[in-house]
Structure 1
């Protein structure tokens, strides 16, 4: 017996449902308030409930699974072509239902609360990092206007700033020096808050065997290991390492016509934050790690950034292989890193 497919357009207050019985072809439409959704599904026979992978979708999927339904999340990019004419909540729900029935439909794995907790900590840390960069850039720019040139990296900046501020205090008004000193104090507070979050991630790392397995790979550290394991969840979601790399946007885009296919730049689909971490890890492997003949040959044939993207792609494939198999990572003489 085929289950009824229900496309649900979620929102803050009003939810639109489009249900299709695959046996009879009967279509039902419902408009529910937020408080009525769980009560509606509790009384309904088990169904396949499909939602766009957007805000609060994972939470709703977990709640519906607890009620005995099969919850699926689909990318909004896959739904958009099926929204005909005007965009309304009812049209979105119908488009979700239609997109879920396509043979090439790709679904997003439902994340657990533990996974979302780790990813939320990463998002907060990334936001604090942006704040710190903005604060130090402002200080660097303001002091540059008065002839003081400071280095770019935060570590070097923190060492050079006190001396630069002392020199500036000899000839600039006290009210400006006090303002700059307060700005620097805010940047240091932000750095301390980031350190607290990193200690929390380190605690999670110590209690997660998968994170420790992944961290054995050169180029993968605390941040990359915890973020990757939390983002993947069930590694069986991906059939291969290449599919995982494609999910992260670390494979070339393709454009073809007339039987001719061109390889273009990186697709840059998927999680930007996780892709950035892998690119940083790949860059550290090339600059600081022991390079293999494959990497040396790649650097001779291609620009540096192309080589970084290739190593990041290989890092993603290696992470998938380590998580998909019981064995630990073992470096080989011909390995990339």
Structure 2
């Protein structure tokens, strides 16, 4: 029987495939060298579903399979585990490929859209920027710790350390030996280099914002800047893949978790599912919007002021991040222009804030 669905477990050198026919009978279950995988896929019938977990290189293979006329399907890893019939203690490449193949057959399964090479290029800049930020923070803390060994301390802000570090290294009255001064000077140069790397990433993100109409639309929202708008557009791509703003907010992980039973709804903290980086940017942007809401007079800002007074700023920040996620979907999926004073009409005729 012809193959209709293939489950693929990707690895660096060996790729495990699990192919089944229309009746679900196993046709092929074998490991292939990486260089022979595409040649084997070329023998599959056109339109055959090839399912893979979302991991490093998955989008690359999916694009190659699309060029061959196949239907690649990417699944989040936590959706695959429950379909491993052998259980959690029998994890290997063959069982994982079979579980991926089985999970892809579910009619209600949520698949990850295949990202373009341009999307991944923009996200590469974002990932590098985050890495440089972590390295810069570590470098600053390292300098502070070494200075403290010689009785020198500065205020907590990086600006205070940057302004006083050069004078501290040249101060001949301190007990700091020559070798320590040279070592700290090299650490200072590393700090300057990391600042240059982050500035380059910011330039690339700004260029993406200027060239992408969707990113420009997203940047108009209150609490979403250039970095957040660029990351949202590059991560999601087509916002029409979500049925509603609530579904997009849930996908980002800003919806409350549930522990409901017997008709009693119990809501907890946000689920924190989805893309951690995008959710973090939405939360950070919402903090800025909450802290400056009293300076604006639009409908959303007035709502933020009242909400902060009622539930506190932390819960208001999460609520604002969820609202921004829903507005993002509305303006990018429907092609609308953001209006902070917009009033949406519910099906019953009642009006509420957007």
TM-score by length of 2: 0.88
Alignment-derived partner of residue 277 in structure 1: 281
Alignment-derived partner of residue 297 in structure 1: 306
- Count of matched residue positions in the alignment of Structure 1 and Structure 2: 335
Q: Once structures 1 and 2 are overlaid, which stretch shifts more, 157-166 or 194-203?
A: 157-166
Alignment-derived partner of residue 329 in structure 2: 320
CA distance in 2 between partners of 1:328 and 1:249 (Å): 25
> Which string of whole-angstrom CA distances, capped at 9 and with x for unpartnered residues, describes residues 277-334 of structure 1?
1111111111134452321222122232221111111111111112112232222177
Q: Does 1:65 align with 2:66?
A: yes
Is the Cα contact below 8 Å between 2:6 and 2:20 reproduced in 1? yes
Instruction: From the superposition, tell whether residues 282 and 38 of structure 1 become closer, same or farther in structure 2 (CA, over 3 Å).
Output: same
Deviation, structure 1 residue 234: 1.3
Is the Cα contact below 8 Å between 1:52 and 1:75 reproduced in 2? yes
Q: Does 1:206 align with 2:207?
A: no
Alignment-derived partner of residue 9 in structure 1: 9
Instruction: From the superposition, tell whether residues 65 and 267 of structure 1 become closer, same or farther in structure 2 (CA, over 3 Å).
Output: same
1:117-128 equivalent positions in 2, closer than 5 A: 117-128=121-132
Deviation, structure 1 residue 35: 1.6
Q: Once structures 1 and 2 are overlaid, which stretch shifts more, 194-203 or 256-265?
A: 256-265
Is the Cα contact below 8 Å between 1:169 and 1:177 reproduced in 2? no
Q: Secondary structure, in 3 states, of the residue corresponding to 1:261?
A: coil
Deviation, structure 1 residue 268: 0.9
Q: Secondary structure, in 3 states, of the residue corresponding to 2:260?
A: strand
In structure 1, list runs of 5 or more residues that go unmatched: none
CA distance in 2 between partners of 1:169 and 1:101 (Å): 74
- From 224, 235, 239, the equivalent of 2:228 is 224
Q: CA RMSD in A?
A: 2.2
Is the Cα contact below 8 Å between 2:290 and 2:313 reproduced in 1? no
Is the Cα contact below 8 Å between 2:3 and 2:44 reproduced in 1? no
Q: Does 1:42 align with 2:42?
A: yes
Instruction: From the superposition, tell whether residues 167 and 312 of structure 1 become closer, same or farther in structure 2 (CA, over 3 Å).
Output: farther
Alignment-derived partner of residue 346 in structure 2: none
Q: Secondary structure, in 3 states, of the residue corresponding to 1:190?
A: helix
Deviation, structure 1 residue 169: 5.7
Q: Secondary structure, in 3 states, of the residue corresponding to 1:107?
A: coil
